[in-house]
Amino acid sequence: MLVEFAGGVLAQSLALVADAGHMLTDAAALALAWAAVRIASRPADAKRSFGYQRLRVLATFVNGCALLFIVAWIGVEAIQRLLNPVPVNAQAILWIGSLGLAVNLIVFAMLTRGDKHDMNVSAAALHVMGDLLGSVGAIVAALVIMWTGWLPIDPILSIFVSALIVRSAIKLVRRSAHILMEGSPEWLDQGELRRTLEQKIPAIVDVHHVHTWSVGPQETLLTMHALVSATADQALVLKDTKALLAERFGITHATIQIEVEDCVDKDCGEQAPLKADRVARG
């Protein structure tokens, strides 16, 4: 980062300075990701009954916002360079960009060996991917300037590299914000979950008041009310429901309230009374 920043200032290359800016955020992003992984591994305690898993999601959100900020800054600088081209030292850009590319390839290879389903690791890898593309852009810009002398290629490639990572950065911010807002997991269809429980467990008349959310990137939690017939074995219904949730949907942390005959909630299914009557009559 320091070499690219110094080289970018001396060579007056926006591509190198932009890549150094990426590396600055990446250094912080990698440190934040590492700290989140370490802290998230701590067990639950009296103050945090779910542990520290949510910290990974928070780190992802912060990293994603940092990416969007640096991309916006590069865009503004690139537009200014397009309006007022500045001579650059193409040979210095080429050598420094090649050094940056080598370093980023090594770091990116190390990160891709990690957990690919962890948003925190994905956010860190995306930061490094942005740097890697920035180094490639700097090398291409240097070659074009050396061969043709066309100076606008430097800011143009900076914009192009930034655009490549904007979509992924927005996706990371949206996913992490969704979890932080206690949103239902995107892969889970609550309608299908209710229908499955009602069809597979005959004693259940209606499933309602369903709430699902994620503590971390992988663990899903659920609370629900289950209306059962008067003759149902409540302990068996609870056991079968938890087993079905774990097997079919991968939900192992569920809190289930059993209700008998009468539903006390406003969001009970409209068909619940009819099904209850059929169950009662055998």
DSSP string, 103-115: HHHHHHHHHHTS-
H helical segments located in 51-118: 54-83, 90-112
Q: CA 144 to CA 262: how far, in whole Å?
A: 76
Phi then psi for residue 260, to 5 deg, are -110, 120
- CB neighbours (10 Å) of residue 98? 14
> 222 - beta bridge partners?
212, 254
| H/E element, 169 | helix 153-180
112 sits in the region (left: phi over 0; alpha: psi -120 to 50; else beta) called alpha
Identity (one letter) of the amino acid at 101?
L
186 three-state secondary structure: coil
Task: Please give the pLDDT value at position 272.
Answer: 46
Find, among 117, 137, 125, 86, the residue nearest to 214 by Cα. Answer: 117
Q: How far is CA 246 from CA 36, 97, 211, in A?
A: 27, 50, 16
Q: What is the DSSP letter of 218?
A: S
Q: How far is CA 186 from CA 13, 42, 218, 255, in A?
A: 42, 27, 12, 20
Task: Please give the pLDDT value at position 116.
Answer: 58
Find, among 80, 196, 178, 64, the residue nearest to 124 by Cα. Answer: 64
Q: What is the DSSP letter of 120?
A: H
**Which parts of the chain register pLDDT below 70?**
13-16, 18-19, 21-22, 25, 114-118, 217-218, 261-282
Phi then psi for residue 230, to 5 deg, are -65, -30
Q: What is the DSSP letter of 45?
A: -
pLDDT per residue as tens digits for the range 206-262:
999 999 998 876 688 999 999 998 888 999 999 999 999 999 999 999 999 999 866
